[in-house]
Amino acid sequence: MNQIPALSRNARAIAAGHVLTPLLGTPFFTRLEALNTNNDWYAWSGYKAPHTLSDEELEYFAIRSTAALFDISPMTKYRISGPDAVAFCNRLTVRDVRKLGVNRVHYTAWCDDHGHVLDDGTLFRLGQDEFRLCSQERHLPWLLDSADGFDVSIADESAEIAGLALQGPVSYAVLRDAGFQGVENLKPFQLGSFPHEGGSVTISRTGFTGDLGYELFCPRELALSLWDRLWAVAEKNRMRAIGYAALNHARIEAGFIVANADFVTSETALREDRLRLPDEIGLDWLVDLEKPNFNGRTAIVKAREKKTLKHILVGLEIEGNVAGPLSLIYHKKKREVGIITASAWSPILKKNIAIASLERPFGEKILNDLWVEIYALRELNYQKLMKPVKIAPRPFLKLDRRGATPPGLT
């Protein structure tokens, strides 16, 4: 029997799109690679993305004290356009798209026919009949199937559109000094088009940190010149490029959730008890029952009427300063009632905070005598800690500058 050389097998696997396929570089990869002194990368939607670049603590404080630049190019981006674009998006998502004005953005979610959340994300209205849907996971087959009967065009523009998140109290000053005139007029969840290198950059006053911030989108070929335009005023404004670790810390403080971290999307769930309705992950406020029918509406209404909701997503404050991601929650230290999905020590609040999924009625009607089981590694030994937890409202951190218009300069 002829033996196939290992190198040949790997080459064939790569050519076939196997898991061994090297991660892609984003349009900003060369700039990030030069800054990544830690060589600390992770995989995001098939792209090589930085977990940290230099120092996680300094990167976090750039978000809260000056300005932080984060590459969001791997985020999935779908262009939805055509005469039925409004009707299609309204049928797809849980919010009333008819209320979303041109050059506005809103946070939304979409469900399968059983009311289980497929994903959450942002919907940008770029024109009267033109939208961009941004999400964590990929949904093109679902979108195309859902578009049956609608006069719409759906295109995956994830690879063609580069994206940056510019966040922090000095983020507006960075844009001003970089020459983006008029950006000070953008209100929260508003977007505009600004000239750049013979083309344009779409800038929206949005972000994932709970702070003053913006997101910038441009064609892939303009990516490096956009980065360099911002970086030219970086030192003056103490702007720092950051990785996901710092961003994740900030988003926990802001109480934001992440698909397949704080909840499992219905397309990726392998077990039925992992499925979640919007009300079970804190997204009940998004659901507009006054709008025309949308995917999952009947199931959501039925669950509310019959009170069959099984889970609830809550904010927690934990005694001490040891974070406990994926730690179990107990009632009276005995009965297991949930799990922490994300946790962090907040330097701003000086509190140990977490997001947790609990089994109702815990976290809804039963709020007291809840405990978390944390295993802390200390000098090569794990120490079991049982710490009391308190239900806390999200967001944990509220910053007035996030909504100030015009934005402040410090």
pLDDT score of 410: 54
In sequence order, what are the beta bridge partners of 76?
A: 135
pTM score of the predicted model: 0.93
pLDDT score of 19: 53
For residue 358 the two structure tokens come to: 């609990």
Which fold, 23-75+160-254? Gyrase A; domain 2 (3.30.1360)
Count of residues for the chain?
410
Q: Residue 32 is which amino acid? A: L
CA distance 137 to 135: 6
CA distance 282 to 342: 15
For residue 257 the two structure tokens come to: 């959730």
pLDDT score of 409: 64
- Matching residue, tokens 């802001």: 254
pLDDT in tens, the chain (410 residues): 334 344 444 444 444 555 567 899 999 999 999 999 999 999 999 999 999 999 999 999 999 999 999 999 999 999 999 999 999 999 999 999 999 999 999 999 999 999 999 999 999 999 999 999 999 999 999 999 999 999 999 999 999 999 999 999 999 999 999 999 999 999 999 999 999 999 999 999 999 999 999 999 999 999 999 999 999 999 999 999 999 999 999 999 999 999 999 999 999 999 998 999 999 999 999 999 999 999 999 999 999 999 999 999 999 999 998 888 889 999 999 999 999 999 999 999 999 999 999 999 999 999 999 999 999 888 888 889 999 999 999 999 999 999 999 997 65
Q: Does domain 76-156 have CATH number 3.30.70.1400?
A: yes
The residue among 208, 277, 291 whose CA lies nearest residue 242 is 208
What is the C-alpha end-to-end distance of the chain, expressed in Å? 71
Select 275-392's CATH number: 3.40.50.2300, 2.40.30.110, 3.40.50.1100, 3.90.70.10: 2.40.30.110
pLDDT score of 2: 39
pLDDT score of 20: 62
Q: Please report, for residues 281, 282, 292, 299, the alpha-carbon distance to residue 305 in angstroms, rounded to integers and kept in the order given.
A: 18, 17, 19, 10
pLDDT score of 381: 87
In tens, the pLDDT along 251-273 reads 999 999 999 999 999 999 999 98
In tens, the pLDDT along 231-242 reads 999 999 999 999
CA distance 145 to 217: 27
Q: Are strands 161-167 and 153-156 parallel, antiparallel or unpaired?
A: unpaired
Q: Is 305 annotated as a binding residue?
A: no
CA distance 242 to 228: 16
Domain spans of the chain, in order of start: 23-75+160-254, 76-156, 275-392
